[in-house]
Structure formats: structure tokens, C-alpha cells
Amino acid sequence: MNAIISATELADDLAGRRPPTLLDVRWQLSVAQAAGEPPFDGRAAFEEGHIPGAVFVDLDEELAAPPGTGGRHPLPDIAEFGAAMRRAGVSADRPVVVYDGGQGWAAARAWWMLRWTGHPDVRVLDGGLPTWEGPLETGLTTPAAGDFRPNPAAEGLLDADGAAALARSGLLLDARAGERYRGEVEPIDRVGGHIPGAVSAPTNENVAPDGRFRPAEELHARFKSLGATDGTEVGVYCGSGVSGAHEVLALAVAGIPAALYVGSWSEWSSDPSRPVAVGPDPQ
């Protein structure tokens, strides 16, 4: 099953006999927000206009636990996550489509959470809301409760030790911007740099200028050039497990399974005892 869906395909599915549950996960993180200025209000944006039938899901409240030693967006309590998904109308036997404002990071985090916890049919709207050409509706949506019960997989998730080990034994990709990987700038976390052995692979290079993913064969070639050859175990991290989920999604489009280090750099760099590499080389 393809992990992404076009706006045309989504319109057809919504008009069909078995329409998907539609989740709106508009969210964004800016340096201004990290500096303490008011955050982007995804719920307000949702109420101003969303794809008909969509339900708003709050990334910070429902797809992550509060910031702490586990990073800025650690895993949520699984029971609480399941309750949030059921409130949003998610059921195990009904397809789910997730979208955001176009960046794709937040939608990918929801996609990853649902897939990792066992939902069999989840896709991301490629290019997000800007690609939708149909009508929008305003206000809130109150769906019928779903029945989804999360059952986390034994694979697909890395902790700090697992990420460090994978950087040595397999391929650990750093999805952040190259200047953060190299340690030239660090606008959010305690220190700049990267996990020793990790390879720089900015997730924004996986998409075309219009925000849609590049073709699967291009993505496959890119990841192969970075070291994702047959039989290589692949993992991804970013700043806080959001843009990294987008890279895991790109890898899925390319046909390459990958695990996510959810704590990512915000967890890794918070512990002064963990090693930090700087510069363009994995080291």
C-alpha cells in the first residue's frame, strides 16, 4: 500500500462507499515559537477552513507527551493516544488519511504513530491542504467514536542507545537542516552537532518545490547513495521526532523500512555525557 495519497485520489475516496477517516494535524514550529513567542494555532486554522469531515488532532497534546528528559516531543502515553484517536473517529477497519498545512511533518508524525501502533491503512495527503481543490468547511467537527486500540510494534522505534548502535552497525540518518547537523547553528537545542556516525539527510530534499514528494525512484536513488543498500538497517532522527517521521515516510515511499528515534537531538543533546560530533562528516 502506498503511504501517500493525492488530492484527486482523496476526493474520489471521500465520495466513495467507504470514505476514510480524515485527520487535520496542522502544526508548525518556528524559531520564534522556540524563543517563547505565541505558537501557531492549528485549531484556529482548522476552524477557519478544513476539508469537509476532517477532525482536528493536536500534535503537542495528542501525538506527544509534554517536553522533558525524553525530548521536546516524546512518545505520548499509549493509552491516552488510543483514547485521542478514538475521539477523532479512528477505527481499526476504516482507512485513515492525514494532512497538514503542506509541510508534511505533522501529518507524518500522525501517520507514523498510527502505523507503529498497529493501524493497517494510513496515508498522508501528498502536499497537504494546499493541494486540495474542493470545498472547505468551517467550525468544529464531532465524529462518531472509533474503536482503534493501539498495539505498539516491537520494531520501528529507537531509543538513544539504539540510535547510537545503529550509527555504527547500520545507517542512521539525520533529517535536520545541514547547518544544524554540522553544528554551525542551533536555534532550539542545548548544543549543535550530530550523533557520531549519523549521516546528514535533510528531509526537505525529499520533496519538490510544490511540497509533494519526489518520485519513488528518485527517493530510492537518494537513500541508496546515502548508504541504504539492500540488507542495511536504517534509522532516522531529527530535532524532536517530527521532521524525522517525514523522512521515515519518504523512505516508505521509496520502499525502504526505517525506524524512528523519537527523542531525537532534543533528547540526545540534553545529556552532556553523550558524545557530539560536528562538521560535515559522520565521524
DSSP-assigned letters across all residues of 63-87: SSPPSBTTBSSPPPPHHHHHHHHHH
Q: Which H or E run includes 7?
A: helix 7-14
| Given the residues 88, 238, 242, 258, the one annotated as active site | 238
Residue 281 CB contacts under 8 Å (≥ 6 apart), including other chains: none
In angstroms, rounded to a whole number, what is the distance separating the alpha carbons of residues 112 and 156?
9
Burial of residue 94, with CB atoms counted within 10 A of its CB: 0-12 exposed, 13-18 middle, 19 or more buried: middle
Distance from chain centroid for Cα 149: 20
Q: Which run of H or E residues covers position 200?
A: strand 199-200
Coil, strand or helix: which one is 33?
Answer: helix
166 flagged as catalytic: no
Catalytic residues: 238
